[in-house]
Amino acid sequence: MSVPLMELVDHGLGLSLQDLGRRGWKRFGVPPGGALDDHAARWANRLLDNPTNAPVLEILMHGVTLRALRRVTVAVTGAAPHVLKAGRGGPWHTAVIEPHQEITITPPQSGLWTYLAVAGGGFAAPRWFGSVSIFPRGGLGESLGPGFVLAGSEAATPRPDSPIGERWVDPSEIRNYARPPALRVWPGPQFDLFSTAARAAFFEQPWRVSSRSDRTGYRLDGAPIPSPALTLPSEPVLPGSIQVPPDGLPIVTMRDGPTVGGYSKIGLIDPEALAWLAQCRPGQQVRLELILGPSHPE
């Protein structure tokens, strides 16, 4: 049985409950959804011995203030530089929040997405197609606003004999979102249809994340590259697919993006690199690196 854990006091835009998404529904036009930075979301749950797919609170950039309704153990990972609890605290570690105490996650200096998890198996929320992740275009998931009460298991309340002490993530796992590495890219279905010059331009120039980016897709700004002059039937699109529309400016499909598309796909961002891209702000520079396989030697 779920119990009330925390109340939303104040927040900006882009606040939602997320897990690792829903599988097996793409053929019906339902995207997988889920936490955009699954690396950070997994670590928030791992710190608390939760299942990796346990629901977490995904927070976009502007921060959030919550009030504890009972004693609860939380973990915060991702972009937030500070977590204020009675004036102290930090990210990528666990903390015990006392009843009526407020916790404020401040806006980050770099990166976009912060994740808050609670002990005891994560937040409790209705599931649609096996996931709590919100998909507004499909009418799936709960919208969150001031006064919304987040529920969870009674196990979120720490006991004196709790096996969870205060924990931190190994520093090697804490990412510097201001300096993303080159994002590894696999050749896409139409890779060989792009000219040699177009492929070189795509991988040799730095791109910038466009302000016209969201959970559906991240657009990249730079010098346009020519796309193949052909008409494609719509075909499956995966998160990380890099489509090149006629204007020559790539669009990377994100977790709430379409499940089919008709633009030529020059590449597919490796799943581990997609979380890095998700944390890149509009205007931030990214570089793409081709993963060469046996069929695409240098």
> What pLDDT, in 10s, does the model give residues 245-285?
999 999 999 999 998 988 999 999 999 999 999 999 999 99
Q: List helix spans (H) across the chain.
A: 38-47, 196-204, 271-278
> What pLDDT, in 10s, does the model give residues 85-143?
654 556 788 888 999 999 988 888 899 999 999 999 999 999 988 999 988 777 787 78
Reply yes or no on whether the pLDDT at 186 is more than 60: yes
Helix (H, G, I), strand (E, B) or coil at 241: strand
> What pLDDT, in 10s, does the model give residues 31-89?
899 999 999 999 999 999 999 999 999 999 887 999 999 999 999 999 987 777 654 55
Per-residue CA distances from 121 to 178, 217, 264, 293 (Å)? 31, 30, 41, 40
Closest CA to 281 of 173, 190, 183, 208: 208
Whose tokens are 């298991």? That residue is: 153
Evaluate the CA torsion angle 170, 160, 76, 156 in order and state its sign: positive
Q: What rounded mean pLDDT belongs to the chain?
A: 89
**Domains of the chain by start residue, with CATH:** 2-173 (no CATH), 183-290 (2.40.100.10)
Supply the pLDDT for residue 175: 94
Confidence (pTM): 0.92
